[in-house]
């Protein structure tokens, strides 16, 4: 959205709401809500958005329709659990999305970015062709080419045509891995090949320098990863250890290692370890089990790469890290 239009939209929203102070009010906190679509751009002006805001004590403070991509809210500040606000946004033709907890304080205004995907949205790879990957993600292109040495471009095109969900998953996970800082480099820097035959819509597999195991253990010792319990390994048959990024509330990368001799592969003289990266919806183990693992076991479904796309983008925006851009969009 052009800067002038965004400023005008904010000004209009401020005029519509009561008690939005010109200066800091010790009893109020300001929240700027920005709504985006699956292209990672502000949702079209005029889209009828139902915004519901509930405080931490389950009191509904706001529920009304707005037509601005950006809106400023003035929320009561209690300095207790009531400040754990939840914000939910819905619109006809789009999937509902929201975030909780959202905390504001009088001296520090907050910003919240929400993404709404169209109900029948499709993966759009217009900016994620093989030539784009080579130009924009050279490391990913290098690893993919090593995984399909006969004709990487054709293999990539077939993956896009026949298994768009698997390609979206590959782009999600590799993009997220490149945003992780280990003591030395990122997890993707250690990969040598992908196992293209084992790609799925919720995880990828590949062979990596065994130094990656020690790098992740070092990151875990610095409280940047959590060591997953032994019971979690049952969800990853043949695995020997697993570690989950804990940077975000949702959409953290999990790296599961298969270190047994039968799973290893020698590449260019290096005894590589087999690695299974995936992205879970939820950081909290209980939420992961109840809201993700058990439903998937019952329905025989797996994590949806479009949901990972939304959660990981929103988590990154919330954390203020560089924009999560897996090259594709959902339209």
The pLDDT tens digits for 42-86 are 999 999 999 999 999 999 999 999 999 999 999 999 999 999 999
Please compute the mean of the pLDDT values over residues 77-102 and round it to a whole number: 95
Please compute the mean of the pLDDT values over residues 24-38 and round it to a whole number: 90
107 and 130 both lie in a single domain:
no
How far is the C-alpha of 132 from the C-alpha of 325, rounded, in Å? 13
84 and 137 both lie in a single domain:
no
Question: Where residue 24 falls among pLDDT bands split at 50, 70, 90?
Answer: low
Write down which residue in 115, 136, 151 finishes a domain: 115
Prediction pTM value: 0.87
Pick the more confident residue, 158 or 284.
158
106 and 139 both lie in a single domain:
no
How far is the C-alpha of 221 from the C-alpha of 241, rounded, in Å? 15
275 and 306 both lie in a single domain:
yes
Question: Which residue in the block uniquely carries the two structure tokens 């992780």?
Answer: 180
95 and 142 both lie in a single domain:
no
Cis link prior to 101 (omega < 30° from 0)?
Answer: yes
80 and 184 both lie in a single domain:
no
Write down which residue in 92, 115, 138 finishes a domain: 115
Please compute the mean of the pLDDT values over residues 292-304 and round it to a whole number: 48
pLDDT for the residue numbered 108? 87
| Each residue's pLDDT tens digit, 185-220 | 999 999 999 999 999 999 999 999 999 999 999 999
Write down which residue in 87, 115, 143 finishes a domain: 115
317 and 196 both lie in a single domain:
yes
How far is the C-alpha of 47 from the C-alpha of 114, rounded, in Å? 14
160 and 250 both lie in a single domain:
yes
pLDDT averaged over the chain?
88
Please compute the mean of the pLDDT values over residues 318-322 and round it to a whole number: 92
Domain at 110, CATH number = 2.60.40.1120
- Tally of structural domains, the chain: 2
Q: Are 218 and 291 in contact (CB under 8 A)?
A: no
133 and 226 both lie in a single domain:
yes
Question: Where residue 324 falls among pLDDT bands split at 50, 70, 90?
Answer: very high
131 and 245 both lie in a single domain:
yes
pLDDT for the residue numbered 232? 84
Cα–Cα distances in angstroms (integers) from residue 64 to residues 16, 61, 89, 119, in the given order: 12, 10, 10, 21
293 and 194 both lie in a single domain:
yes
Instruction: Give me Rg for the CA atoms of the chain.
Output: 22
> 3-state DSSP call for residue 146?
helix
105 and 157 both lie in a single domain:
no
The range of the structural domain enclosing residue 299 comes to 123-330
DSSP symbols for 99-120: EEEE--BTTB-EEEEEE--BTT
Q: Where are the beta strands (DSSP E) in 57-136?
A: 60-66, 70-76, 85-90, 97-102, 110-115, 123-124
pLDDT for the residue numbered 231? 84
């Amino acid at each position: 959205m052009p800067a002038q239009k965004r400023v005008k939209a904010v000004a209009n929203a401020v005029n519509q709401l009561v008690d939005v102070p010109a200066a800091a009010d010790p009893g109020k906190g300001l929240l700027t809500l920005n709504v985006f679509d699956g292209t990672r751009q502000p949702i079209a002006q005029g889209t009828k958005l139902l915004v519901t805001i509930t405080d931490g004590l389950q009191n509904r403070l706001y529920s009304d329709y707005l037509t601005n991509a950006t809106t400023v809210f003035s929320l009561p500040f209690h300095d207790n659990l009531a400040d754990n606000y939840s914000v939910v946004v819905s619109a006809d033709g789009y999937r509902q999305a929201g975030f909780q907890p959202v905390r504001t304080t009088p001296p520090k205004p907050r910003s919240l970015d929400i993404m709404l995907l169209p109900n029948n949205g499709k993966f759009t790879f217009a900016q994620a062709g093989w030539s784009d990957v080579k130009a924009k993600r050279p490391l990913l292109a290098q690893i993919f080419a090593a995984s399909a040495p006969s004709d990487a471009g054709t293999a990539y095109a077939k993956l896009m045509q026949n298994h768009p969900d698997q390609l979206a998953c590959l782009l999600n996970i590799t993009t997220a891995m490149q945003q992780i800082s280990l003591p030395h480099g990122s997890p993707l820097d250690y990969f040598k090949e992908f196992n293209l035959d084992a790609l799925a819509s919720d995880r990828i597999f590949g062979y990596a320098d065994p130094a990656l195991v020690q790098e992740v253990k070092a990151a875990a010792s610095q409280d940047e990863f959590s060591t997953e319990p032994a019971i979690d390994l049952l969800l990853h048959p043949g695995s020997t250890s697993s570690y989950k990024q804990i940077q975000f509330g949702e959409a953290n990368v999990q790296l599961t290692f298969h270190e047994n001799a039968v799973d290893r592969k020698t590449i260019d003289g290096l005894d590589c370890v087999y690695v299974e990266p995936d992205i879970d919806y939820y950081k909290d183990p209980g939420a992961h089990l109840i809201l993700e693992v058990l439903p998937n076991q019952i329905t025989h479904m797996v994590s949806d790469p479009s949901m990972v796309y939304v959660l990981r983008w929103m988590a990154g925006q919330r954390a203020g890290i560089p924009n999560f851009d897996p090259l594709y969009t959902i339209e």
